[in-house]
Structure 1
Amino acid sequence: MRMKKATAFGLAALMAATMIPAVPAMAKGDDSEGSVYYLNFKPEQADQWSDLAKKYTDETGVPVTVVTAASGTYESTLKSEMAKDEVPTLFQVNGPVGLASWKDYCYDLKDSDVYKNVESDDFVLKDDSGAVDGIAYVIETYGLIYNKALLKKYCEMDGAVIKSADEINNFETLKKVADDIQAKKDDLGVDGAFTSAGFDSSSDWRFKTHLANLPIYYEYKEDGITSTDAIKGTYLDNFKNLFDLYITDSTCEPSLLSSKTIDDANAEFGLGEAVFYQNGTWAYDNIKDNEVADEDMGMLPIYIGVDGEEDQGLCTGSENYWCVNKKADEKDIQATLDFLSWVITSDEGRESISKEMGFTTPFKTFDENYESANPLVKAADEYVKAGKTPVSWNFTTMPSEEWKNQVGSAMLEYAQGTGEWDAVKTAFVDGWAKEYKAANEG
């Protein structure tokens, strides 16, 4: 069974790599009423978007092309596609920093059905004039996904340091549990407490961006700010403590991390080879239908050892804002607006977004009939209901992709033993000031 499942993961990865086109294969249909070209950011939902586009074309005759950028290449792919004759009519940015690079391409969505149906302006990117440049289409959550069945099995072992997963509410306890699981991994039947912390480009964003969000969040919170031109690195020691745990209590040796991919981590968790997996609600499609049943998927906050973190919730926000290309032909702009309206109001669109893609959206049109079946989304809802304080997504204020890359490179060198943690601090603090200045000159 495990051999069969592992082969399935490998085939899925191969298919994903070969099915995501580098250039758009334009959809067939009548383009007299315009056409839509969506450059999708999320490889996890590439097939669902393509299926939804086909349904819309079959229903309306309007061609809709979906091209999905490979993981970690969206910005470079967008730049390349915008330079071609057939430009994306629908693209996305990750927040205010991403918008700064593309604001001259953003059509004002203030009169669109999408804007009229968004729950609040908390999910909207506006410029100084009040123009609506981007609208979030999915609200996501990340943390430590865990295998409830394996953790329960551990809790029942002699000498277990906890009796229930509910006892893990701070870094100190998480470390004790992870260290003990690693020591007992053979008896528990796992390869490690945590999945591999891969630094292949398909996976490194989990650490240089999502994990790095935690020290930024706590520094912003302490200083009462929402962005900065010069990060201080107040909580980088806390950042190091958790990253050390990922490295030492892992399914693999640190020397292998440079080549470990997101598919490796998905397989390790999906096959029950690890108890914990740092990722988000979007990962469900890649880990379901394997050894871990839906009811055995839970999520814990990412604890880094900060005072009061017992009241901390999961990391919730969005880095997925739809933008319509105002430099496209007028008929294509209207076709794109019509497509977006259909996506958030039609039965087919809402069913696909909520059930097939597993998204939680900020649109009023998604009532109780269109709640996500994703168990990780339900786990996130439980923390909100319990009154825990969600961790905001402050990584949208990171100064540049280059900053992330330099931090990630230093983290990998440290993990492999070929670099020191001081290099991570330098990339984090000095690199922030340098990249912020470069991005905001003039």
Structure 2
Amino acid sequence: YCYDFTGTEILGELTSDNYALKDGDAVLGIAYVVESYGLIVNKTLLQKAGYTVEDIQSFADLKKVAEDITARKAELGFAAFTSAGMDGSSDWRFKTHLANLPIYFEYQADNIGTTKAIKGTYLDNYKAIFDLYINNSTCEPSALAGKTGDDSRNEFLAGEAVFYQNGSWEYSQLTGENAFADEDLAMIPIYIGVGDEAKQGLCTGTENYWCINKDAKPEDIQATLDFITWCVTSETGTKAMAEDMGFVIPFKNAQESENLFVRQDAEYLAAGKVPVSWNFPTMPSENWKNELGSALTSYAAGMGSWDDVVKAFVDGWASEYALLG
């Protein structure tokens, strides 16, 4: 039922083709709001450890810095990473957001946009970044099952860790009175040691798209196209989207955001960095995420093996898709 946006003015206004929802060559949806996630950095603590964000341009760099901070944790007074909490308020950061990276890179390598049978090509890299998180943290891996999203944020706010995996939506929670100033913070990509890391951007995407019913009257389709194009090109429209609705829109004429992390994503794009797209809609089910989360929790606690994680990821993916028919 979706109208094909190919050749429309609004499609040409997107800042990246990654924000066009495609089925083959057809463009069936246009993202109208985007968010980014990555590693939020306390630049002050990083500098105290003897580094800057410019020193971290790859997984190898991140590993070197994190393990050095851990080796000097008693001396420095802080850890590398906040707790990778696997409580329900926090586990989505790892069973969904972190899991997105090996999925993204597999899709890129195989030139696909979805699959009913994930191969797990980059699960060794997924293990490497998860191990880095849990072994260079504010707490022991065995304690992560009970750690919450608030715990992780509060550790970061208290200056207990340098890195905090989260997104642009956290900006208001981390800044303002008795919190950080913009100059204290940065967001860097989540490197996992795959692809051209020098060109990797933040994980930027959406689950929110404009679609048009292709069976509507031609004049209604055109009126809809005119309206949504006006929303993202005119001063009044873009101001309403940014200020009244609070949206960060992925269009060339977007109003500049006050959110530091949003501005940094724009800087990455301007520098030619390639955003890691969100592939959450291709994950087979919530049950798949939950089973993966359980396997990760058991692994972190030393009660399960990484093979169990791989099984949940690969075999669970296939079995959940099989249930969909």
What TM bracket, shorter-length normalisation?
0.7 to 0.9
TM-aligned CA distance change 1:184 to 1:356, over 3 Å: farther
Match of 1:212 in 2: 99
Give the aligned partner of residue 215 of structure 2.
Answer: none
Q: Summarize the Cα distance change of 1:124–1:310 in structure 2 as closer, same or farther, 3 Å threshold.
A: closer
Is contact 2:43-2:52 (8 Å) kept? no
**Structure 2 counterpart of 1:143, from 18, 23, 38:** 38
- Match for 2:272 among 381, 387, 390? 387
Deviation, structure 1 residue 140: 1.5
Displacement of 1:357 after TM fit?
A: 7.3
How many residues end up aligned between the 2 structures?
Answer: 306
The Cα offsets for residues 363-387 of structure 1, whole Å up to 9 and x where unpaired, read as 57x54xx311101112212222222
Write the distance in 1 (CA, Å) between the matches of 2:229 and 2:80: 44
Q: 1:233 to 1:139 in 2, by over 3 A?
A: same
**What is the identity, as a one-letter code, of the residue corresponding to 1:139?**
V
Q: 1:385 to 1:346 in 2, by over 3 A?
A: closer
More RCO (CA 8 Å, sep 6+): 2
Deviation at 1:127, TM superposition (A): 8.4
Deviations 1:396-421 (A, max 9, x none): 21111111111111001101111111
Cα separation, partners in 2 of 1:198 and 1:349, compared to 1, 3 Å: farther
Q: How far apart, CA to CA, are the structure 2 residues paired with 1:151 and 1:287?
A: 17
Q: 1:244 to 1:109 in 2, by over 3 A?
A: same
Q: Does 1:267 align with 2:162?
A: no
Matched, 1:166 2:54: yes
Q: Tell me which amino acid in the other structure corresponds to 2:58.
A: N
Corresponding residue for 1:354?
Answer: 242
Alignment-mate amino acid for residue 436 of structure 1? Y
Gapped regions of structure 2 (runs ≥ 5): 213-227
Which consecutive unaligned segments of at least 5 residues does structure 1 have? 1-102, 156-162, 325-339
Alignment of 1:319-338 (within 5 A): 319-321=207-209
C-alpha offsets along residues 54-81 of structure 1, whole Å, 9 cap, x if unaligned?
A: xxxxxxxxxxxxxxxxxxxxxxxxxxxx
> Does structure 1 conserve the Cα–Cα contact (< 8 Å) formed by 2:20 and 2:27?
no
Q: Is 1:178–2:66 an aligned residue pair?
A: yes
Residue 230 in structure 1 maps to residue 125 in structure 2 = no
CA distance in 1, matches of 2:236, 2:158: 32
Asked whether the equivalents of residues 196 and 264 of structure 1 are also in contact (C-alpha less than 8 Å), the reply is yes
Matched, 1:396 2:281: yes
Q: Does the 8 Å CA contact 2:83/2:139 hold for their aligned counterparts?
A: yes
Alpha-carbon distance in structure 2 between the residues aligned to 1:401 and 1:393 = 16
Provide closer, same or farther for how the CA distance between residues 260 and 315 of structure 1 changes in structure 2, counting only shifts above 3 A.
same
Alpha-carbon distance in structure 1 between the residues aligned to 2:157 and 2:107 = 35
Give 1:232 deviation, angstroms: 0.7
Q: Which residue of 2 aligns with 1:160?
A: none
Cα deviation code 1:255-293 (max 9, x no counterpart):
221222222222222232211011111111221124321
Whether contact under 8 Å (2:18, 2:277) holds in the other structure is no
Match of 1:255 in 2: 142
Q: Do the aligned partners of residues 350 and 436 (structure 1) sit closer, same or farther apart at CA in structure 2, a change above 3 Å counting?
A: same
Identity %, equivalent residues: 58
Cα distance in 2 for partners of 1:270, 1:238 equals 29
C-alpha distance in structure 2 between counterparts of 1:122 and 1:208, whole Å: 22
Query: How far apart are residue 349 of structure 1 and its match?
Result: 8.4
The residue type equivalent to 1:151 in the other structure is L
Deviation string for 1:183-208 (max 9, x for gaps)?
Answer: 22333332x21111111222111101
TM-score of the superposed pair, with normalisation by structure 2:
0.81
Decide which moves more: 291-300 or 202-211.
291-300
| Residue-by-residue CA offset, 1:145-174 (whole Å, 9 max, x unaligned) | 10111111211xxxxxxx432121111111
Q: Is contact 2:31-2:208 (8 Å) kept?
A: yes
In structure 1, C-alpha distance between the alignment counterparts of 2:45 and 2:57, rounded to whole Å: 18
| Secondary structure of the structure 2 residue equivalent to 1:146 | strand
CA RMSD of aligned residues (A): 3.3
Q: Which has the larger radius of gyration?
A: 1
- Please give the secondary structure, in 2, of the residue aligned with 1:225: coil
